[in-house]
Amino acid sequence: MKSIWTGSIGFGLVNIPVKMYSASQESSLGFDMLDKSDKSNIRFKRVNEKTGKEVKWENIIKGYDLNGRYVILDDTDFEKASPKKTKEIEIDQFVEESQIDSIYYEMPYYLEPMKTGIRPYALLREALKKTGKVGLGTFVLRNREHLVVIKAIDDILIANRIRFAEEIRKPDISVPAATNKPAELKMAVALINQLSGKFNIAKFKDTYTESLLKMIKAKAKGKAIVSKPLRVAHVNTKDLMEQLKASVEGTGKRKKAS
Amino acid sequence: MPSRIKKADETDTELKVGNTKVALSNLHKIYWPVEGYLKKDLVDYYVKIADYILPYLRNRPMSLFRNPDGIKGFGFYQKDIAGKAPAFAETQKIFSESTDKDVEYVICNNKATLVWLANLGCIEMNPWNSQLENLDAPDYLIIDIDPSEGNSFDQVMETAKVVKSVMDKAGGTCHCKTSGATGIHVYIPMGKKYKYDQVRDFARVLASLVQEQLPDFTSLERSLKKRGRKNIYIDFLQNSRGQTLASAYSLRPKPGAPVSTPLDWNELKKGLLPTDFNIKNIFKRLEKKGDLFKPVLGKGIDLRKCLTKLGA
């Protein structure tokens, strides 16, 4: 597993050097976009708005529109904006986790202590467990500031990114008032109680992806299957080899001539 | 015996390299905090490795990647050294199309320049693939095998070996080194006979052939998002004018102070780790193995013959 961030957790006078790893992974199937007519892969191009010509990645830079004029920024500028926050999660406050609404939660990350961080890591973990609280702090990852909850689960510390207040929309939907009959409410409560149990995530499986994959495999056995993109790549490779050979032969001739 | 920094208590000093004096500064700055290696260790390393690394830097423009506050500090790229290079450092102005102006590059042709670069905080040495005499024709082709977080180094080695097997089939040689970070670089000598675009096209051909053989965990997709976390990126795009990669024997600004280390193909065995070779233990290995990378600068492959053997 490759760490996505290295830095430290700052907590009072204690500094804990850690590596951060992504704690989640995608479980959905990936689909390729194809042209209906010949099943070629669809490619996206980044084009210059003026010339319409494709622009290479290496020639693409980032600019911020400041009152109609672009200010150009490079990687070092992003770091310079907040040198401390790019390398440190400063815990400003500890709160009860139940006070944080689930609407704020985003990506979870695992935190691994580096050599010099082993003892302070354990210290923070045990202190969090003892108080039943979680830490709140901010740091910068990939040019963006994030708010995180630091909490202890078993032997590890987890940083869970949470949204800032301004990232949550006002509920601009309509929920007209309605009255409940006491008997109905009583029944609904009874139903909830009947279906209540202990939370066990292992009981829930992503069955849609599974059945989708089954369907794809079944379709592949039938005749509707379309040639794999790998084969397409092979044709391209072959073409490229021929072109290159012609080009190399050209080079050879020129050399002999000179 | 190579010259060494003598007085341990001096943080700013001068080092005599041959007849040249190189000013050194802040030698006590911590560069690798976990290991406790200082800037002095960095300078010492390049003093000692000079004879090995200089052949791979000679006559090549360098992109400087400076980490003036060590590996945990902020690193930045610098190409243009105009007005800043000392008299003993060679430089060369090269016109840059993207910025429409001349860039004055450092050419690291002597030990003094190498030491000066180390003192600038260059942990990594990043030379062009081509030399001043013919900047458009690289000495070698590079396949950069770059794993994602879901890949093991065993998979990286397997991919490198498939590059080797394709080159065996093509009747050409190739050589590998650890990147010093998580990957492996495979170099194929081209002997300055072909232009960058031809070399890059051949690299693309190789990468596609390798990818076809290892469809389960390799990809030609640069973007991590599209490639997913379980695929190694077989990068054939390191073969362009002006592009640079950490050279053989370059240190990397990573924990443990790893060195990009040339390997024998039979060393690619389960259990080998890219972090096995570092600032401290590399010298013992070099005494035993010598410079395994020499052929990379030697006779190039015959591209036409290779393509024919691959079926073109």
Closest of B171, B220, B302, B203 to residue A241, by C-alpha = B203
The predicted-structure confidence for A58-113, as pLDDT tens digits, reads as follows 889 888 888 888 888 887 887 777 767 778 898 989 999 989 999 999 999 999 99
The CA-CA-CA angle for residues B269, B275, B280, to 5°, reads 120
Query: Is ipTM strictly over 0.90?
Result: no
Closest Cα in chain A to B152: A1
In the chain, the amino acid numbered A185 is: L
**Bridge partners for B192 per DSSP:** none
If you search the block for the tokens 């992003």, which residue do you land on? A78
pTM of the model: 0.59
**CATH code assigned to B13-127:** 3.90.920.10
Rounded Cα distance between A230 and A243, Å, is 20
Look at residue B50 in the predicted model and tell me its pLDDT: 96
Per-residue pLDDT band at B98 (split at 50, 70, 90):
confident
Asked if the model's pLDDT at residue B298 lies above 90, the reply is: yes
Average pLDDT of chain B? 92
Ordered by where they begin, the domains of chain A are 5-28+59-166 (2.40.290.10)
Ranges in chain B annotated CATH 3.90.920.10? 13-127, 140-309
- Cβ–Cβ under 8 Å, residues B123 and B135: no
The predicted-structure confidence for B183-241, as pLDDT tens digits, reads as follows 999 999 999 999 999 999 999 999 999 999 999 999 998 887 788 888 999 999 999 99
- Residues 6 or more apart whose Cβ sits within 8 Å of residue A125: A152, A155, A156, A157
Asked if the model's pLDDT at residue B117 lies above 80, the reply is: yes
Rounded Cα distance between A137 and A9, Å, is 9
Average pLDDT over residues A130-140: 92
The predicted-structure confidence for B19-32, as pLDDT tens digits, reads as follows 899 999 999 999 99
Q: How far apart are the first and last CA of chain B?
A: 52
Helix (H) or strand (E) holding A148: strand A144-153
Determine, for residues A240 and B205 on separate chains, whether the beta-carbon distance falls below 8 Å.
yes
- Nearest by CB to B149, from A1, A58, A240: name it: A1
Give residue A52's region: left, alpha or beta (phi > 0; psi -120 to 50): left
Residue A29 carries which DSSP code? P
Tell which wins on pLDDT, A10 or A76.
A10
So what CATH class is B140-309? alpha beta
Determine, for residues B304 and A249 on separate chains, whether the beta-carbon distance falls below 8 Å.
yes
Q: How many CB atoms lie within 10 A of CB B281?
A: 12
Q: For A143, phi and psi rounded to 5 degrees?
A: 65, 10
Rounded Cα distance between B188 and B227, Å, is 26
The predicted-structure confidence for B30-86, as pLDDT tens digits, reads as follows 999 999 999 999 999 999 999 999 999 999 999 999 999 999 888 888 999 988 899
Per-residue pLDDT band at A258 (split at 50, 70, 90):
very low
- Ranges of beta strands (E only) in B108-237 are 122-127, 140-146, 175-178, 184-189, 218-219, 232-235
The predicted-structure confidence for A155-199, as pLDDT tens digits, reads as follows 999 999 999 988 899 888 888 888 888 888 888 888 888 888 888
Query: Per mean pLDDT, which range of A245-254, B109-118, B158-167, B286-295 is the poorest?
Result: A245-254
Average pLDDT of chain A? 82
Residues in A closer than 8 angstroms to B232, CB to CB, are none
SS3 B48: helix
Helical segments of B104-173, H only = 111-119, 153-170
Q: Which two tokens stand for residue A72?
A: 């150009």
Determine, for residues B304 and A2 on separate chains, whether the beta-carbon distance falls below 8 Å.
no
Rounded Cα distance between A226 and A224, Å, is 6
- Residues 6 or more apart whose Cβ sits within 8 Å of residue A46: A54, A55, A57, A60
Look at residue A251 in the predicted model and tell me its pLDDT: 58
Determine, for residues A59 and B312 on separate chains, whether the beta-carbon distance falls below 8 Å.
no
